[in-house]
Amino acid sequence: MKLRTVIMASAATVAMAGSALAEDLTIVSWGGAYSASQDNAYHQPFMADHPDVTIINDESSNEAVAKLRAMDETGNVTWDLVDVEGPDSQRLCDEGLAMEIDLNEWTKAAPDGTPAVEDFGDAVINDCFIPQIVFSTTFGYRTDVAEWNGEEPTELCDIFDTETFPGKRALEKRPKKNLEWALICDGVAKEDLYDVLSTPEGVEQALAKLDTIKDDVIWWSAGAETPQLLADGEIVMGSTYNGRLFSVIAEQNQPVKMLWDWQVFDYDGWIVPAGLPEEDLDLVKEYISFATDTQRLADQAKYISYGPARASSQPLVGDHAELGIPMGPHMPTNPDNMGNYLVNNILWWADHQDDVEQRFQAWLAQ
């Protein structure tokens, strides 16, 4: 009798745990300062509104494409919502791994009644993408390098100038952006960039340029690495996302400055993995509608210097939540920061990434 009670009780507990699990929302993002800004602006307020929901943060966004493919292959998708860059969303959408959604149905209109699709404007890059922010990838450098004799880099191509600016650099362990920068510094004009890159010779030209600094490069794969290496003094300059650099400079007061020259703009947003069960989908939908409304998107900019993807959010961007400094000048879209810039060619990368990646990885290993 007693044993039976125990079994019944534990079965009941398991069943309850099961129903509680249904309210878990697994959100995949990039970690570090970026996940923290999402936690402050979206997750905490959402959980306050929905006490029965627990949001689980998974920091796997830089492997999202691979992991979603693997999950799809094994038929066990464990993620509810994934934060990805524009080109990755394009790939996932093409491959049927991301769900196609109607943006006007999933997200709220702007406060003045402008439909969401118009409010998001250019940020709506494909049928699966729910835009969140505009960010850029750019360079940060240390201001206290003795060997530089008081000089400071002023333009992108100083990255390749190891005479004037000796020391280690950090670059991302992916071809994207590195190849564009290399070509620009090898004299290719902005409008010819992707035509040149579309040929094998163009890729070789870019790699040859990167060869000139290969011995001085430390390769990163997570956005938080460059700020850490800069703070440690392990590198003298390195590429990363502008929000990460902001956090090192403004929040941690490290002797680091930013180089906005040829920053590369990109969109980042949500995709919903295809094939989510119906009951999970409702919760995801509710979360999306909540997290992408005009006010929330503007709120995220209080914690990190990324521009909200909605036009209606931009006037609401105010001061940093803790430091109280205005965030406007630190946004990649601030006119002062937009002398030279590139917009990531999402379609080109979606089409060519497999090819170029293969060649780049071989080059890296040699």
Partner 1 sequence: MAQEQILTQEGKPLKQALRRALRREKMRSILLIAPLLAFVLVAFIAPIADMLFRSVENGIVADTLPETVVALQDWDPSTGELPDEAAYVALYDDLTVAVEKKIHTRLGSRLNYEQSGMSSLFRKAGRTVRSIEPGSPDMKQQLIDSDAAWGNLDTWALLKRYSGRYTPGYFLNAVDAEMNADGIEMKPDNERIYLYLFVRTLMLSLIITFSCLVLGYPISYLLAHLPLRKANLLMVLVLLPFWTSLLVRTSAWKVLLQQQGVINDLLVWAGIVDNTHRLVMINNATGTIIAMTHILLPFMILPLYSVMKTISPTYVRAARSLGATSWTSFWRVYFPQSVPGIGAGAVLVFILSIGYYITPELVGGTSGIFISNRIAYHISSSLNWGLAAALGTLLLVVVLFMFVLYDRIVGIDNVKLG
Which residue's CB is nearer to partner 1, number 115 or number 200? 200
Residue 77 is given by DSSP the state -
DSSP SS3 for 318:
coil
| Least Cβ distance, residue 9 to partner 1 (angstroms) | 29
Among 155, 234, 251, 286, binds partner 1 (CB under 8 A): 234
Which structure tokens are listed for 233? 């003094």
Of 47-55, 94-102, 152-160, 288-296: span binding partner 1 (CB under 8 A):
94-102
In 3-state terms the chain splits into helix, strand, coil percentages (rounded to 5) of 50, 20, 30
How remote is the C-alpha of 230 from its chain's centroid? Answer: 20
Which structure tokens are listed for 266? 């990109």
* Radius of gyration of the chain, Cα coordinates, nearest whole angstrom: 22
| Least Cβ distance, residue 193 to partner 1 (angstroms) | 17
Question: What would the x/- binding string for partner 1 be over residues 247 to 266, using CB under 8 A?
Answer: --------------------
Contact between 147 and partner 1 by CB under 8 A: the answer reads: yes
Contact between 152 and partner 1 by CB under 8 A: the answer reads: no
Q: What is the largest CA-CA distance in the chain?
A: 84
Number of residues that bind partner 1 (CB under 8 A): 33
Contact between 31 and partner 1 by CB under 8 A: the answer reads: no
Of 63-71, 189-197, 298-306, 318-326: span binding partner 1 (CB under 8 A):
63-71
Chain residues 174-213 in contact with partner 1, contact rule CB under 8 A: 200
Question: What would the x/- binding string for partner 1 be over residues 103 to 142, using CB under 8 A?
Answer: ----------------------------------------
Contact between 12 and partner 1 by CB under 8 A: the answer reads: no
Separation between Cα atoms, residue 266 and residue 254, nearest integer Å: 26
Beta-carbon contacts of residue 94 (< 8 Å; ≥ 6 apart): 350
Contact between 96 and partner 1 by CB under 8 A: the answer reads: yes
Which structure tokens are listed for 342? 């590139």
Among 109, 218, 281, 321, binds partner 1 (CB under 8 A): 218
Which residue's CB is nearer to partner 1, number 27 or number 203? 203
Which residue's CB is nearer to partner 1, number 168 or number 285? 168
| Least Cβ distance, residue 350 to partner 1 (angstroms) | 7
Strand residues in 272-314 grouped as ranges (E): 307-308
Separation between Cα atoms, residue 320 and residue 332, nearest integer Å: 15
Question: Nearest 5 degrees, angle CA 224-CA 228-CA 234?
Answer: 135
Of 246-254, 260-268, 308-316, 355-363: span binding partner 1 (CB under 8 A):
355-363
Contact between 70 and partner 1 by CB under 8 A: the answer reads: yes
Consecutive H or E run containing 89: helix 86-94
| Least Cβ distance, residue 201 to partner 1 (angstroms) | 12
| Least Cβ distance, residue 71 to partner 1 (angstroms) | 11
Residue 261 is given by DSSP the state E
Q: H-type helices in 172-214, by residue range?
A: 178-185, 193-197, 200-211
Which residue's CB is nearer to partner 1, number 340 or number 361? 361
Contact between 59 and partner 1 by CB under 8 A: the answer reads: no
Q: What per-residue string of b and e applies to 193-203 under the rule 16 or more CB within 10 Å gives b? A: bbebbeeeebb
Separation between Cα atoms, residue 206 and residue 185, nearest integer Å: 9
| Contact set with partner 1 (CB under 8 A) | 63, 66-67, 69-70, 91, 94-96, 146-147, 168, 200, 218-219, 232-234, 350-355, 357-359, 361-366
